[in-house]
Amino acid sequence: FPLDISQGELIEKLKCFINSFTRFFVVLQLTVNQSDTAYKIFGTINNRGRDLTDSDIIKNELFMSVPNEKRDQVKEQWDSIIETVESEDLTEYLRFQYASSIGPVKLVNLYDAITGHLQKNDPINYLEDLAVESEWFARINLIGGDFWSGNIKEKLNVIKNNLDISHSIPLLLTGAVLYNQDLKSFERLVNATVVFCFRYFTIGKNSVSNLEREIGFMSRSLRN
C-alpha cells in the first residue's frame, strides 16, 4: 500500500483483501506418510504458473538425497547439464540416459526408477555420470558446435530430422560413451542402428514401446 494512505483507506483496502482471499482462495493441508507420495503430489502443483516437469521433481530428489554441504555441488552440476543439452527440461535426457546405462524405462515410471536407483547408489556419482554423458547426448543430437564429420554427422542428422527414431538415442549414447576414441566403431554402430530401426518398423511392424525396450536392453548389454 502507498505510504501516504490514510488509516480509513487502509482499513477499507484490508477488508477488500481479506474478503477476496477468503472467497476466491482455497488452502489445503495434505499429510502423507511417504516421501515419494509427497513428491508425486508436488509434481501436480504449479511452480510460478508453470507445471513442474519430471526433471524438476527428480532434481528435488537429488537435493534431498545429499547432505547440505553437497547441495551447491548438485546445483552447479545440474545447471551445467542444462547448459550442455540446451534445455531447462531434462526429462528426455534423464530417461534416455537411464535406458542407456541401466535399462529401458517408460516415462510414467521414470521418477520411481531414478529414485530407486538413488536409494541404492551414490547420488553424487550418478550426477557426475549425468554431467559427463550429457556432453555426448548433446553431440549425438547435434547440439552446439560441430563435433562429428562426414558420414556420422549425416546419419545422425537423418536420425534426428528424417527417420524420427529418437528412441534409438540410448544406444547411440552408449556407443558415443564407449567408442568416442574409435570413430570407425561408432560409425558402424550408427549405421547398424539406422538399419535395425528401419527394419524393426517397416518389416517387423513393431511398436515404439517394443523398440524402446530392445534398444534399452542392447544399450545395457554393450556397457556390460
Cα–Cα distance, 220 to 224 (Å, whole number):
6
CA distances from 115 to 53, 72, 112, 148 (A): 15, 20, 5, 34
CB distance 64 to 122 below 8 Å: no
Instruction: Give residue 46's pLDDT.
Output: 45
In the three-class reduction of DSSP (H, G, I as helix; E, B as strand; rest coil), residue 203 is classed as coil
Instruction: Give residue 48's pLDDT.
Output: 47
Cα–Cα distance, 83 to 127 (Å, whole number):
15
What is the number of other CB atoms lying within 10 angstroms of the CB of residue 28? 4
Instruction: Give residue 47's pLDDT.
Output: 44
User: What grid cell was written down for 32?
Assistant: 502423507
Cα–Cα distance, 88 to 79 (Å, whole number):
9
How confident is the prediction along the chain (224 residues), in pLDDT tens digits per residue?
Answer: 677 778 888 888 888 888 888 888 877 777 877 655 665 566 555 444 556 788 888 888 888 888 878 888 999 999 999 999 988 889 999 999 999 999 999 988 998 999 999 999 999 999 999 999 999 999 999 887 788 888 888 888 888 877 667 788 999 999 999 998 899 999 999 999 888 887 877 776 777 788 888 888 999 899 88
Instruction: Give residue 123's pLDDT.
Output: 93
Instruction: Give residue 65's pLDDT.
Output: 86
Q: What are phi and psi of 58, to 5 degrees?
A: -65, -35
Residue type, 193: T
CB distance 211 to 99 below 8 Å: no
Give the pTM.
Answer: 0.75
Instruction: Give residue 43's pLDDT.
Output: 54
